[in-house]
């Protein structure tokens, strides 16, 4: 079963279907519409946040679903499924994989890799370690993660300083060279060409979110580019 899930997303697109407060799509029904559309369009998997939304998506699509919760570290940066109670909660949604923060930042009195090892001992689930550096990726692989995902590159205090506007090709390249585990490319992948490049670098699968499932933000991208021109005319 774990191997089957891992194989099913090989070479595939995972569409992240998330929504925030104030967005018209911010409901289980709203994100489930995106998940269904993505699967009809050929998505090999879905990534989803929060128990109720993830449960509804799991019940409505026939591809593996990666579940997660979000909270914040004391420094204000996002923390992905960072407590045992959150792991327990999201597993109840029926998701096939749980995404867990694999950075070295402390939660439950331990680092991400240590926490992932504990989750493997206490729960029966596939684990995707969301990391921000190659060192974190290696440590999470050594501590029992099933996948390593570049999700957090650019979203920690340390990596924010050096992150460019595009995806972190360098990190994915390092991970695929160093590790035998499946490496998932995630974070600022905003075009089909970038997604294909990630596969070329050896990524097992690619996650795309905003560019497909956040029409509000995509609209902002267009409006902001157009504003520069229209203000000159």
Of residues 2, 7, 41, 71, which one binds its own copies by CB under 8 A? 41
- Can residue 147 be called a binding residue for its own copies (CB under 8 A)? no
Could you tell me the two tokens for 107?
């939660």
Q: How far is the CB of 71 from its own copies (least distance, A)?
A: 25
Of residues 25, 51, 115, 147, which one binds its own copies by CB under 8 A? 25
Could you tell me the two tokens for 31?
């994100």
Show the DSSP H helices in 109-168 as ranges: 112-122, 134-142, 157-160
Q: CA of 228: how far to CAs of 130, 217, 233, in Å?
A: 36, 17, 9
What distance lies between CA 192 and its chain's CA centroid?
17
- Can residue 30 be called a binding residue for its own copies (CB under 8 A)? yes
Residue labelled with tokens 């289980």:
28
Stretch that binds its own copies, among 36-44, 47-55, 74-82, 166-174 (CB under 8 A): 36-44
Q: Which is nearer to its own copies, 87 or 185 (CB)?
A: 185
Of residues 1, 21, 74, 233, which one binds its own copies by CB under 8 A? 233
- Can residue 23 be called a binding residue for its own copies (CB under 8 A)? yes
- Can residue 165 be called a binding residue for its own copies (CB under 8 A)? no
- Can residue 72 be called a binding residue for its own copies (CB under 8 A)? no
- Of 16, 13, 11, 10, the C-alpha closest to 192 is 13
- Can residue 21 be called a binding residue for its own copies (CB under 8 A)? no
Of residues 5, 6, 13, 127, which one binds its own copies by CB under 8 A? 13
Q: Which is nearer to its own copies, 24 or 74 (CB)?
A: 24
Q: Which is nearer to its own copies, 1 or 193 (CB)?
A: 193
- Dihedral of alpha carbons 56, 61, 67, 69, sign: negative
Q: CA of 27: how far to CAs of 12, 62, 79, 186, 208, in Å?
A: 26, 20, 21, 23, 20
- Can residue 177 be called a binding residue for its own copies (CB under 8 A)? no
- Can residue 22 be called a binding residue for its own copies (CB under 8 A)? yes
HEC profile for 173-222?
Answer: HHHHHHCCCCEEEECCCCCHHHHHHHHHCCCCEEEECHHHHCHHHHHHHH
Which run of H or of E encompasses 21?
none
- Can residue 11 be called a binding residue for its own copies (CB under 8 A)? yes
Instruction: Give contact residues for its own copies (rule: CB under 8 A).
Output: 10-13, 15, 22-25, 30, 33-34, 36-38, 40-43, 192-193, 195-196, 199-200, 206, 208, 211-231, 233
């Amino acid at each position: 079963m774990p191997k089957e899930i891992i194989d099913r997303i090989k070479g595939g697109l995972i569409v992240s279907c998330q929504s925030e407060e104030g967005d018209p799509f911010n409901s289980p029904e709203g994100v489930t519409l995106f998940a269904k559309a993505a699967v009809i369009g050929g998505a090999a998997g879905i990534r989803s946040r929060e128990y109720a939304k993830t449960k509804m998506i799991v019940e409505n699509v026939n591809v593996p679903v990666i579940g997660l919760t979000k909270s914040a570290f004391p420094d204000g940066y996002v923390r992905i499924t960072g407590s045992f109670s959150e792991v327990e909660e999201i597993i109840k949604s029926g998701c096939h994989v749980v995404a867990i923060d694999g950075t070295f930042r402390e939660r439950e009195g331990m680092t991400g890799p240590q926490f992932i090892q504990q989750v493997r001992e206490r729960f029966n689930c596939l684990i995707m370690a969301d990391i921000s550096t190659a060192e974190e990726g290696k440590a999470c692989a050594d501590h029992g993660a099933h996948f390593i995902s570049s999700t957090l590159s650019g979203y920690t205090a340390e990596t924010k300083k050096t992150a460019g506007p595009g995806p972190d090709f360098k990190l994915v390249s390092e991970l695929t060279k160093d590790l035998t585990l499946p490496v998932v490319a995630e974070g600022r992948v905003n075009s089909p060409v970038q997604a294909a490049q990630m596969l070329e670098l050896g990524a097992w699968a690619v996650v795309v979110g905003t560019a497909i499932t956040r029409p509000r933000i995509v609209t902002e991208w267009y409006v902001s580019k157009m504003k520069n021109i229209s203000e000159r005319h």
